[in-house]
Structure 1
Amino acid sequence: MPTDGDEKSTAQASRILELLWRHHVPAKPGARGPKPGLTVDAVVAAGIALADRDGIAKLTIRAVAAQLGVRAMSIYTYVPSKEALVVLMVDAVAAEDAPIPAELPIRDRMIAVAERIRTELLAHPWLLEVSPWRQVLGPARMRRYEHQLAAIEGAGLSDLTMDRAIAVLTDFATGNARLAVAAAGAAAQLSDADWWRVHGPLLIQLISAEEFPLAGRVGAAVGEHYQAPADPDGAFAYGVATLVDGILADS
Structure 2
Amino acid sequence: MSNLYWLTEVQMARLRPYFPKSRGLPRVDDRRILSGIIFINRNVLRWCDAPAAYGPPKTLYNRWKRWSDMGVFARIMTGLAAEAPDNKTISIDATYLKAHRTASSLGLKRGRGRLIGPTKGGMNTKLHAVTDTSGRPIRLFITAGQVSDYTGAMALLSSFPNAEWLLADRGYDADWFREALSERGTRPCIPGRASRKKVVRCDKRRYKRRNRIERMFGRLKDWRRVATRYDRCPRVFLSAIALAATVIFWL
Q: Tell me if both proteins adopt one fold, taking TM over 0.5 as the criterion.
A: no
Greater fraction helix: 1
Q: Which of structures 1 and 2 has the larger relative contact order (alpha carbons within 8 angstroms, sep 6+)?
A: 2
Q: TM-score, normalised by structure 1?
A: 0.30
Larger radius of gyration: 1
